[in-house]
Amino acid sequence: DVRTIMAGMGDALMGSGVASGENRALAAAEQAITSPLLDGAEVSGARGVLINITGNNSLSMFEIGEAASLIQQASGDGANVIWGMVIDEEMGDQLRVTVIATGFNRDARLADQMQKPKKTVEKAILSGNDFEPNNFEELDKPTFKRERKKIDPRSRNGSLSLFPIEEDEALPEGPDNLDIPTFLRKQID
């Protein structure tokens, strides 16, 4: 329910009200939609409203309906209103209504985004050893099917530079042999 109301809806407001006695549902709902948490803002124009009503076992469906309909009227006809209730025996005679309203000015925000000029993507500068800008047909093949040249990662032009390594070259014998771990070589000295 929270995801349904909150996802992608933009700004959100939250209000809470607590009341007891006769007409406690209407009083708590009125406090919730005029709550100081709303900082003078109203729930009218909200596209999504989530209502939580908390009370003890004496909480009736009539009270829930009163609170929900008052908040529905305040938010407007186009709002998606989802309500839920919680039984909490520690509330005593009190009833708490919590309201989360979302989706304010969504149409105006979308209109602003549509009017903003889109960023243009400049030509990317690619670098690579065998990149040929005229060979785009080759890129249509999956990578694993393309024939690739083997490139030494140490060089820029694809050939071995500075230190050619022959695979058959044996490592020197003696204390310089790197097959012996460092800590053992240091113990030998």
What residue segments make up the domains of the chain, in order of their start?
A: 2-109
DSSP-assigned letters across all residues of 18-80? EEESTTHHHHHHHHHHT-GGGTT--STT-SEEEEEEEE-TT--HHHHHHHHHHHHHHH-TT-E
Q: 86-104 pLDDT, tens per residue?
A: 998 888 899 999 988 887 7
Q: Which pLDDT score, from 0 to 100, does residue 81 have?
A: 85
Q: Which pLDDT score, from 0 to 100, does residue 103 have?
A: 78
Do 59 and 87 contact (CB within 8 A), yes or no? yes
Q: 132-165 pLDDT, tens per residue?
A: 555 566 666 776 666 665 555 555 554 444 455 5
CATH 2.40.30.10 fits 2-109, yes or no: no
How sure is the predictor about 82, in pLDDT bands with cuts at 50, 70 and 90? Answer: confident
Residue 126 has pLDDT above 90, yes or no: no
Per the model's pLDDT, the better-predicted residue between 186 and 121 turns out to be: 186
CA distance 70 to 23: 12
Q: How many residues does the chain have?
A: 189
Q: Which pLDDT score, from 0 to 100, does residue 28 have?
A: 92
Which amino acid makes up residue 64?
Answer: I
How sure is the predictor about 170, in pLDDT bands with cuts at 50, 70 and 90? Answer: low
What is the reported pTM?
0.52
Q: Which pLDDT score, from 0 to 100, does residue 157 have?
A: 53
